[in-house]
Structure 1
Amino acid sequence: MFQLTQNSDQALVQDKEQKTILIVDDEAVIRDLCMRALHDYHVVEAANGEEALQIFERGGIDAILTDVMMPRVDGLELLKRIKEKEPTMVVIIMTGYADKELILKALKADADDFITKPLNLLQLKSGVDKALVKKALKEEIANLKNLDRLKTNFLSLISHKFRTPITTISLFLQNLAAGVYDPCDETVRQHTGLIYDEACYLGQLVSDLLSFSTVMDSGGALRLEPCDLSSLIPKLVTSSKEWNEKHGVTPQVQVEPSQEVMLDREKFSFALQQVIDNAIKFSKKSGMVRVTLQDEGESNRIVIEDQGIGIARDALPKVFEKFYQVDANRTGQVRGFGLGLFYAREFIRMHGGSIGIESEPEVGTRVTITIPHKGHQDS
């Protein structure tokens, strides 16, 4: 634990100039004194709680130093609203009242520290430093808990995905070994075909796992290189394994000549392949999957459209969540792990791009990807 605190403290010292402190007090002289004491940080100020909330909602605030007695929205109300929106936000209460009831209310609302007036500027600076270290620890613990939850969910999902085909294959082999089946029976030949399909499905699951593992282990940095989208896109469309299951679906590729883009070829190809595969996988028995590329000057616009089963309106906000899968028929047997679109969005955003989905049940889905000509890594 000491090492973790020490590392967080070192990181805080190195990153002070990037931290933003919001000082909230209706007395201009108090705000000015606080700003001078916290000159190592980027400081913004608000004259009351209402103004502070507006600044906070714009984002970029790392800690808030607030008085209690203020017009409109007081310090305690500000504390409650801030913690409701962002529980790990650091909020330090400044007060000239040593009121036990007030302190209890602030503690109950999860205040991070108290500083009494008249202000001791050294205590003020030290309190902010320590509170930011505390915030870093809170966020690290929250991330660890979230990672543990995701790991548990993923293991549960994998076991569920593997259990059905393994059970089917096992039961067939047990019946075959027990002599239940007549080898010459037509039913046996049909079941053998089904078992072969299940074995192929297991192989595909393993392949998908290895693919996700490779992408996740490649790290956060982009390995940028010149990439010609007008030649890459047709290759990704024709190489999709999903065509094996959709013989009645026709691909249509329309790409305009475009200038080369600096991309991480592996990550971007993975992202685009996930979207293309989904368009084919969720198509009906017949129809068309159209992929177009347009050069729009400062960016490229890629549109993937299908005439498939579509996505319900209430499900659209969830499609980029980890492990979420569109299951229109509620069978619980949708192929895959529900990670494709999550990583597709992550990798596209890393390139400074965007991805959006429009869909209508039983009509089809349209995915639009925008990639700037000058790719970059999201910080």
Structure 2
Amino acid sequence: MLEVVQTQTIDPRQKQEGKCILIVDDEAIIRDLCRKALKGYRVLEAGDGEEALQVFEQGGIDVILTDVMMPNLDGIELLKRLKEIEPTLVVIVMTGYADKDVILNALKADADDFITKPLNLLQLKTAIDKALVKKALKEEIANLKNLDRLKSNFLSLVSHKFRTPITSISLFLQNLASGVYDPEDSAYQKNLRMIYDESCYLGGLVTDLLTFSQVMDKGEGLKLEPCNLNSIILELLHASKEVAGKPGVETAFDLEPLPSLFLDREKVSFAIKQVIDNAYKFSRSTGRVAIFIKNQDNICKIIVEDNGVGIAKEDLPKIFEKFYQVDSDHAGQIRGFGLGLFYAREFIRLHNGNIAVESELGKGTRVTITFPAAEGCPI
């Protein structure tokens, strides 16, 4: 039976406290007046467009209030660059000019609102409040579009993953029904084994789908309990089908003794499993996987190294994206759904941890997972 969970819709205006406003104007007195009028918000300042971009790159900006005429980089060019970086960003343009070309250029650059100089401080506060509501709505629309895109990608991926083995099984059964195969023929035995492997693969895909469904349904809450990472890693290695499937790959250990850490066992096990499985999955028939655990300056490090096929430099930034799979042969036959590393990173971050990947094509991959490991201090 499906459990229906009711959610409460929150008016975006209730979430404005603590929002960050960046004021961009070459006149210090204008910036100071705006800051004083925007009490209750976190306000940052920049004297021109170039400085504004530097501040924006540090993150955390919700709304930008910018003048048009400024040295180095004017407000219109700043607006264009900001929208290229973050389309959902809300930018309010301040101008003392009634020039239609200025207004038209700002609209073409996707300005969200205008305020004329000299400033009316009440109008300014109202414009900021409206801008934050607009930003929340923009983000919600963007999230819905992204969810729709992800759903389409997922359905396409699932159909592709299932189609190949189902086609193989169907063709074999059709030939069998037509009397093409002789049960005594060695080719029959070979194809029978292949079909058995394909059916096992289908079963594995179904298992993976159920696993990811459970992962997605469990939300972000953590069930912390004392965990021994050494024991978790050894259990994962013993149970891994990827490890069992590569008997020619040597496994090396250097597991430094650690105190128990307060972790969500299920989520951490899931994350480490993805990394270990990938190390073997992308190893050649022979090779070496090394697993290290170290405790340095109250930081617990889990390092998994392999000398397998590696990852191209251009692929590294994408490996944590949903549904992305490294496919160096471009054959489209990489097994799995490309969700493991996405959820692994999410779960590690929930523990205030981090995961980093270094790799070189043809030479192997090194994955480092870190957790805060202050003894006696729950994470």
TM-score using structure 1 length: 0.92
Maintained 8 Å contact 1:27/1:47: yes
Cα shift readout 1:32-81 (whole Å, capped 9, x = no counterpart): 22222211211122232232222222221111112222233222222122
* Partner Cα distance (2:80, 2:107) in 1: 11
Relative to structure 1, is the Cα distance of residues 315 and 72 closer, same or farther in structure 2, using a 3 angstrom cutoff? closer
User: Shift of residue 376 of structure 1?
Assistant: 8.5
Deviation at 1:7?
Answer: 5.1
Counterpart contact for 2:310–2:359, Cα < 8 Å: yes
**Aligned partner letter, 2:193:** G
Separation in structure 2 between the aligned mates of residue 115 and residue 56 of structure 1, nearest angstrom: 21
Within-5 A mapping of 1:239-258: 239-258=239-258
Q: Deviations over 1:140-191 (max 9, x none)?
A: 1111111111110111011001001111111111111121212222221221
Spell out, residue by residue over 1:77-104, the C-alpha distance to the aligned partner (whole angstroms, 9 max, x if none): 2212222221211111111222211111
C-alpha separation in 2, matches of 1:351 and 1:20? 26
Relative to structure 1, is the Cα distance of residues 44 and 329 closer, same or farther in structure 2, using a 3 angstrom cutoff? closer
Partner of 1:68: 68
Q: What code does the residue aligned with 2:273 have?
A: Q
SS of the counterpart of 1:94?
A: strand
Contact conserved, 1:249 with 1:286, CA < 8 A, in 2? yes
Number of the residue aligned with 2:13:
12
Are the counterparts in 2 of residues 352 and 376 from structure 1 also a CA contact under 8 Å? Answer: no
- 1:3 match: none
Match of 1:197 in 2: 197
Residues 1:151 and 2:127 are matched in the alignment? no
Matched residue, 1:178? 178
- Trace 1:1-379 onto structure 2 (pairs within 5 A): 10-13=11-14, 15-373=15-373
**Over residues 212-253 of structure 1, what are the superposed CA-to-partner deviations in whole Å (9 max), with x where a residue is unaligned?**
111111102222222111221111111111133212223233
How big is each residue's C-alpha offset from its partner over 1:339-369, in whole Å with a ceiling of 9 and x where there is no partner? Answer: 1122212222222222222223333222111
1:302-338 deviation line (CA, Å, top 9, x unaligned): 1111232222333222222222222233322111111
Equivalent pair of 1:324/1:338 in contact (CA under 8 Å): yes
Relative to 1, partners in 2 of residues 1:225 and 1:53: Cα closer, same or farther, differing over 3 Å? same
Structure 1 residue identity aligned to 2:206? V
Contact kept? 1:252, 1:290, Cα under 8 Å: yes
- Aligned partner of 2:5 in structure 1 is none
- C-alpha spacing 1:192/1:113, structure 2 compared with 1 (3 Å): same
Separation (CA, whole Å) in 2 of partners of 1:319 and 1:376: 30
Report the alpha carbon displacement of residue 111 of structure 1 after superposing the two structures with TM.
0.7
Structure 1 Cα separation of the partners of residues 103 and 378 of structure 2? 47
Distance (whole Å) between structure 2 residues aligned to residue 128 and residue 7 of structure 1: 22
C-alpha spacing 1:376/1:206, structure 2 compared with 1 (3 Å): farther
Shift in alpha-carbon separation, 1:314–1:77, aligned structure 2, 3 A: closer
**Any gaps of 5 or more consecutive residues in structure 2?**
1-7
Give the paired residue count. 370
Letter in 1 for 2:280: I
- Corresponding letter in the other structure for 1:105: N
Q: How far apart, in 2, do the equivalents of 1:222 and 1:119 lie?
A: 48
Q: Is the partner of 2:257 in helix, strand or coil?
A: coil
Structure 1 unaligned residues grouped into runs of 5+: 1-5
User: Residues of 2 paired with 1:81 and 1:307: CA distance?
Assistant: 42
2:59 is paired with a residue whose SS is coil
Amino acid at match of 1:12: R
Q: Is the CA contact (8 Å cut-off) linking 1:50 and 1:72 kept in structure 2?
A: yes
RMSD: 1.9
CA contact (8 A) 1:25 1:47 kept: yes
Q: Structure 2 vs 1, CA of residues 308 and 28 (structure 1 numbering), >3 Å: closer, same or farther? A: closer
User: What's the TM-score once normalised by structure 2's chain length?
Assistant: 0.92
Residues 309, 361 of structure 2: 8 Å contact kept? yes
